[in-house]
Amino acid sequence: MGCGPREMRGRRPMIWVIGYFDGFHLGHQALLREAMRAARERSVDWGVLSFTPHPRGVISGRPMELLFTPRERGVLVDFLGVPVLKELPFDRALADMSPLEFLQMMEARLSPTGVVVGGNFRFGKGRSGDVDLLRDFCHRRGWFFKSVRCLELGGEPVSSTRIRETLVSGRAQDVSAMLGYPFMILGRVCRGDQRGRAIGFPTANLSIPHGKLLPARGVYGALAWVDGGWHPSALNVGFNPTFEGVRGIRVEAHLMGFQGDIYGREMAVFPLKMIREEHKFPSVAQLVRQMEMDVEEARRICLGYPEDFKAKMSKALGSALGCVEVEAKNSVN
């Protein structure tokens, strides 16, 4: 995943934050801060211990649609400043380990000197291990241990499940509030039907990896990043119902003020707010009139989005995708 300093090199004492972290939401980020603080006080390193694929999918036998693909998670690791990411292959053998067997394996392979988890953390076969068992094990080993209380927003716990439900309902702003950053869709620009170009709104069509959860169908104001530059965009997620013969869901962005050939390039889009739900128009002319209004609304949504986010995310995207640091270029005006 990328080429930054995230893969574990050699054996050294580590404080590990344990979990799957589909999203690295605000609750997860509280764990990261705790691990960073504890590691600094003890002059040791820290990192994230995660699993691939998602344990729930292995246990249930049904693959899950996830908020973020492995490649996107690599970008987020850079964005959030996680120094080390270790991913254990999650298979039936790991799923069948007792809590004690899992901890002994971790002790033998990962040189832990501390553990940080969420307050509802469960592990081991049948989720039989809990925070109390883990705390007792750590104390007997002389390791640092911290369980962090679940973060609440709007009176409800922030969780990846809640974020997934919010995303598929189209509430992009609420998703951003729980993640602490906008939702990301990363894909390679591929050739589409060229319909957008024909009606005056050329779009960059993204090839989306299998298993990626997408927002509700509709039009969004979104920031788009490609080749180190930011562009306000009108993002469409849907089936283009006004046109006949469209198969499969499309993710396509009209980048305002952009000219150039980006076929085959990787592009990231960040939906900020839904403008409207998907709608089948009686004519192409009516669609065009609506698109003109959509583009202006998308421009307004993107206007003035914080520069610190764009600079930090641009650096993470450049590092994780291209292994080079790129200068964030801003074309939002």
Write out the E strands in 133-227.
144-148, 152-153, 156-157, 185-190, 204-207, 218-226
The rounded distance, in Å, linking the Cα atoms of 229 and 246 is 30
pLDDT at 245: 58
| 306 located within any domain | yes
Is the pLDDT at 307 greater than 60? The verdict is: yes
Average pLDDT of the residues in 134-155: 97
The rounded distance, in Å, linking the Cα atoms of 139 and 11 is 21
| 173 located within any domain | no
- Are 122 and 203 contained in the same domain? no
Helix (H) or strand (E) holding 6: none
**Which is nearest to 225 in space by CA: 302, 323, 172?**
302
Using the structure block, give the residue that is written with the tokens 């995207």: 317
- Are 241 and 313 contained in the same domain? yes
The CATH number linked to 72 is: 3.40.50.620
Q: What is the pTM of this model?
A: 0.89
- Are 55 and 18 contained in the same domain? yes
Longest dimension (CA), the chain: 72
Is the pLDDT at 252 greater than 90? The verdict is: yes
pLDDT at 62: 85
pLDDT category of residue 59 using cuts at 50, 70 and 90: confident
| 171 located within any domain | no
Pull the structure tokens for residue 314. 């641009």
Percent over 90 (pLDDT), the chain: 73
Is the pLDDT at 333 greater than 50? The verdict is: no
Which of these ranges, 34-38, 48-52, 151-155, 282-286, has the smallest mean pLDDT? 282-286
pLDDT at 185: 98
Residue 59 neighbours by CB distance under 10 Å: 14
pLDDT category of residue 196 using cuts at 50, 70 and 90: low
Q: Higher model confidence: residue 12 or residue 66?
A: 66
Could you tell me the CA-to-CA distances from 204 to 68, 166, 188, 227, 235 in Å, in that order?
A: 20, 26, 9, 13, 9
Average pLDDT of the residues in 124-131: 95
Cross-strand pairs, 232? 223
Pull the structure tokens for residue 81. 């400043």
pLDDT category of residue 324 using cuts at 50, 70 and 90: very low
| 110 located within any domain | yes
Q: What pLDDT digit, counting tens, does each position of 233-250 carry?
A: 999 999 876 666 556 789
Q: What pLDDT digit, counting tens, does each position of 311-321 carry?
A: 999 999 998 88
pLDDT at 200: 62
User: What radius of gyration do the chain's Cα atoms show?
Assistant: 22
- Are 50 and 146 contained in the same domain? yes
Average pLDDT of the residues in 197-211: 83
- Are 285 and 233 contained in the same domain? yes
- Are 196 and 310 contained in the same domain? yes
| 137 located within any domain | yes
The rounded distance, in Å, linking the Cα atoms of 97 and 126 is 9
Give the number of domains in the chain. 2
pLDDT at 299: 97
- Are 112 and 28 contained in the same domain? yes
**Which is nearest to 96 in space by CA: 53, 52, 126, 60?**
126
Name the residue type at position 268: A
Helix 70-79 / helix 307-322 crossing angle, nearest 10 deg: 130
- Are 153 and 186 contained in the same domain? no
pLDDT at 26: 97
Q: What pLDDT digit, counting tens, does each position of 67-98 carry?
A: 999 999 999 999 999 999 999 999 999 999 99
The rounded distance, in Å, linking the Cα atoms of 131 and 55 is 18
Q: Is the Cβ–Cβ distance between 278 and 241 less than 8 Å?
A: yes
- Are 216 and 310 contained in the same domain? yes
| 314 located within any domain | yes
| 289 located within any domain | yes
Mean confidence (pLDDT) of the chain: 89
pLDDT category of residue 329 using cuts at 50, 70 and 90: very low
The CATH number linked to 236 is: 2.40.30.30
- Are 137 and 275 contained in the same domain? no
- Are 152 and 192 contained in the same domain? no
Q: Is the Cβ–Cβ distance between 319 and 292 less than 8 Å?
A: no
pLDDT at 281: 84
Average pLDDT of the residues in 303-307: 94
Beta strand pairing status for 204-207 and 185-190?
Answer: antiparallel
Note the residue count of the chain: 333
- Are 62 and 149 contained in the same domain? yes
| Enclosing domain of residue 260 | 182-330
| 9 located within any domain | no
Percent over 70 (pLDDT), the chain: 88
C-alpha angle with apex 4: 64 to 103, nearest 5 degrees?
Answer: 55
Average pLDDT of the residues in 251-259: 91
